[in-house]
Amino acid sequence: MSMLSALKISSSAMTAQMVRMNTTASNLANMDVVGSTADEAYRAKKPIFKTVMENNTLNNFEASVKVNGIYVSDRVNTQRYDPQNPAASDDGYVFMSNVNSIEEMVDMTNASRSYQTNVEVMNATKKMMMSTLQLGK
Amino acid sequence: MSILQNPLGIHGTALKLREQRTAILASNIANVDTPNYKARDIDFSSVMAATKGHNMSTSHGRHIGASNYQGLHGENMIKYRMPNSASLDGNTVESNTENSLFTENSLRYQATSTFLNSKIKGVMSALRGE
């Protein structure tokens, strides 16, 4: 039943893209969060995608996706001189988040496009299954 | 007599192969953002030709021949696609190619399924003899 596994593969990809969308939303939401130290400041999060191959001989051609963990960006948190800020350190600096908004927007567009494509694949697969179920009628 | 010995002809095998190709192309589309994933596909006509060669032999005229299509055995039938341009993360999926091939495959699947339907209807009307 490769048709059902095609549905499963597309749904695994949709789940993965949704995780990516959620990390992007978190990153954009926390873009302006500041901290008194570099550890307190927000760091961008990125999902790591991994292929899951079926190793059964009957369906070794099927490859779904899973999120293999979340990577926390190690880009340097920039400092801003803002002595009025309650979070400012003794010498008057706050640590900004290391989120790059352009990168996040690109990621968001990419994730939503990939999600849409997988929805299309699911729809097409469903149509094919329905036509097979109607055979002989 | 051939329509009653093997009423569905080659279309049953073709439908099964098209179905498996759907899963392969869906895998490629699903892994469009996975680093180091290599897009795969089958050469439909060569796999179809190979299924004809591996006919199970029957030692008696009244044996029922088994379906000659056993599945996509071995990696030699599944090939890696050559990408048009390299990408930094080692992924070779090109979504335009995959989407168009997926559409083509699903159209051909529909065509095969229509052929099968006509075959079944033909046999049914032959059996009824009305």
User: Which residue in B20, B42, B121 is closest to A2 by CB distance?
Assistant: B20
Q: How far is CA B29 from the centre of its chain?
A: 18
Q: Which of B14-18, B61-65, B82-86, B106-110 has the highest mean pLDDT?
A: B106-110
Domain assignment present for B1: no
Categorize the per-residue pLDDT at B54 as very low, low, confident or very high, splitting at 50, 70 and 90: low
Q: Find, in chain A, the residue whose alpha carbon is nearest to that of B80.
A: A61
Q: pLDDT grade, residue B73 (50/70/90)?
A: low
* Model pTM score: 0.84
Q: Do B99 and A20 touch (CB under 8 A)?
A: no
Question: Per the domain annotation, does B54 fall within a domain?
Answer: yes
Nearest residue, CB atoms, B99 vs list A65, A111, A117: A117
pLDDT category at B53 given cuts 50, 70, 90 is: low
How confident is the model at residue B122, as a pLDDT?
87
Q: What is the mean pLDDT of residues A61-85?
A: 91
| Residue B4 forms part of a structural domain | no
Domain count, chain B: 1
pLDDT in tens, A77-116: 889 998 998 888 888 999 999 999 999 999 999 999 999 9
Binary contact (A121, B34; C-beta < 8 A): no
> What range does the domain containing B53 cover?
10-128
**A5 vs B23: CB contact, 8 Å cut-off?**
yes
B40-42 and B78-80 beta bridge pairing:
antiparallel
Asked, for residue B3, whether it belongs to a domain, the answer is no
Residues 72-101 of B with CB under 8 A from A: 72-73, 75, 78, 95, 99
pLDDT of residue A110: 94
Nearest-5° Cα angle at A109, B84 to A98: 105
Q: Residue B120 falls within a domain, yes or no?
A: yes
Q: Is residue B67 part of a domain?
A: yes
The tokens describing A135, both together, are 């055979």
Chain A residues touching chain B at CB-CB below 8 Å = 2-3, 5-6, 9-10, 12-13, 16-17, 20, 49-51, 57-65, 110-111, 114, 117-118, 120-121, 124-125, 127-128, 131-132, 134-136
Contact B110 A124 (CB under 8 A): no
Residue of B nearest to A14 (CA): B30
Summarised one tens digit per residue, pLDDT across range B105-121 is 999 999 999 999 998 89
A63 contacts B29 by C-beta, under 8 angstroms: no
Instruction: Quickly count: other Cβ atoms within 10 Å of residue B76's Cβ.
Output: 8
Overall average pLDDT of the A4-23 stretch: 95
pLDDT higher than 80, residue B4: no
Domains in chain A: boundaries: 2-133
Q: Which residues of A touch B72 (CB under 8 A)?
A: 60-61
Q: Is the pLDDT of residue B79 over 90?
A: no
Contacts of A122 (CB under 8 A, 6+ apart): A7, A10, A11
Contact state of B30 with A136 under an 8 Å Cβ cutoff = no
Q: Which residue of B has its CA nearest to A58?
A: B71
B19: pLDDT strictly greater than 80? yes
Rounded distance, CA A111 to CA B34, Å? 12
C-alpha neighbours within 13 Å on the C-beta side of residue B91: 16
Ranking A113-127, B38-52, B70-84 by mean pLDDT, the lowest is B70-84
Task: Classify A81 in phi/psi space as left (phi over 0), alpha (psi -120 to 50) or beta.
Answer: beta
Distance from CA of A79 to the nearest CA of B (A): 31
Which percentage of chain A shows pLDDT scores above 90?
64
Does B120 contact A at CB distance below 8 Å? yes
Bridge-partner residues for A95, per DSSP?
A35, A79
Lowest mean pLDDT among A41-55, B2-16, B44-58: B44-58
How much is the average pLDDT of B20-29? 94
For residue A85, the 8-state DSSP code is S
In one-letter notation, the amino acid at residue A64 is: S
Q: Flag whether pLDDT at B125 surpasses 60.
A: yes
